Amino acid sequence: MAKTSPAEFINQVRAEARKIVWPTSRETVQTTIMVIIMMTILSLFFFGVDTVFNAIVSWLTSLAR
């Protein structure tokens, strides 16, 4: 692998940094809203699954008494 000089490395970093496409503020807001919605849906789902498993385990442990 060929070694690059520090100046060439800086030039390569600048060239790559120019390729970055930043999201608009509207895209950022939309993405944030979608993340909050998905987080809420998943938290409710896992709360439900946890509640069902808790009920099953409680029922099974009551049988052992």
Question: pLDDT digit string (tens) for 4-37?
Answer: 899 999 999 999 999 999 999 999 999 999 999 9
What's this model's pTM, rounded to 2 decimal places? 0.66
Side-chain half-sphere CA neighbours of 39 within 13 A: 6
pLDDT over threshold 80, residue 60: yes
| DSSP 8-state class, residue 64 | T
Instruction: Write out the two tokens for 21.
Output: 């496409």
Q: Which of 51, 48, 54, 46 is nearest to 62 (CA)?
A: 54
